[in-house]
Amino acid sequence: MRWLWLFAFATVLAGAGVFVSTRVYAERANCMMPSEPLRYREVAPIFAKHCNSCHDKRVSDNRAAQRVFESSRYPFSTERPDTLLADLHEMFDARRSLSDAERCRALAWLATGARDDRGRAPPYKSRR
């Protein structure tokens, strides 16, 4: 029975995309979902604190990290536009240096569309 549950869960995640899976995770982690979509400026401090030391070409020469995404401006430039949102979800989920509040905020931003400061959705979508 457990394998059936895992298969069903994996199917839902794969079929529904990163936004639904992020929302499910954020709710399971007791994160309050915002009533309005979050904008990048509301999560920019999290990226500045935890990501920019490797992903911002102005402060780092880490080309491998910057191929995943380069964070000097949003929307991020990336060589992996089809998986970037899923990659960010996994990073926020796994990174232990994030506080619970930072993790919830970042996952809520992804779950509400990963919008830029003007409220526009990013030009890349996850096919995962």
For residue 50 the two structure tokens come to 């935890």
Taking only the tens place, the pLDDT of each residue in 3-22 is: 434 434 443 444 344 444 55
For residue 58 the two structure tokens come to 């102005």
Of 12, 43, 14, 35, which Cα lies nearest the Cα of 110? 43
Chain centre distance of CA 128:
13
This prediction has a pTM of 0.75
Contacts of 19 (CB under 8 A, 6+ apart): 85, 110, 111, 112, 113, 126
| Beta partners for residue 77, in sequence order | 70
Amino acid code (one letter) for 12:
V
pLDDT of 32: 85
Taking only the tens place, the pLDDT of each residue in 72-97 is: 999 999 999 989 999 999 999 888 99
Share of the chain above pLDDT 70, in %: 74
More confident residue, 59 or 9: 59
